[in-house]
Amino acid sequence: MATSLVSCTQTPDEQLTYLEGYWEIAEVATPDGSKKTYSLSQNVDFFEIQDNLKGVRKKVQPDIGGHFTTSQSSENIDIEINDNTLVLKYTTAFDSWKETVIEASKDQLILLNENGTTYTYRRYEPILFSK
């Protein structure tokens, strides 16, 4: 059993390859065990990662034409690898915090906030209406 767990474990470099892009919140689980699931969200998180292990995270709102409206707020990201774990350190003009990447794949992103809250995202897929 332990062998299968090890073979499925991602390295931070593998996780980093999937981090960039548009992510829609699917579930939030708090340390007390409560969970909230989201079938659809008005906001999408956009991660942009640079080669120097820095990046930005922005909230965007998709429209029916497949475009995005971007909010003026953004969070700078410093990416660190500590003990074979990918850590995202965010800073804004008002706050700073960090999240640990638990899983990052083509379709799913799981982040653990330093307060113990787990955020599960699904890759955002636009809903396009044809004429």
Average pLDDT over residues 25-48: 93
Over residues 55-72, the mean pLDDT reads 82
Q: Is the pLDDT of residue 2 over 60?
A: no
At 3, the pLDDT band (50, 70, 90 cuts) reads: very low
Q: How many CA atoms are closer than 13 Å to the CA of 128, on its beta-carbon side?
A: 6
* Band of residue 130 on the pLDDT scale cut at 50, 70, 90: low
| Tokens 């640990």 sit on residue | 100
Type of residue numbered 68: F
Side chain identity, residue 122 = R
pLDDT (mean) for 38-59: 91
pLDDT of residue 72: 74
What is the chain's mean pLDDT, rounded? 87
**pLDDT tens sequence across 73-117:** 789 999 999 999 999 999 988 999 999 999 999 999 999 999 999
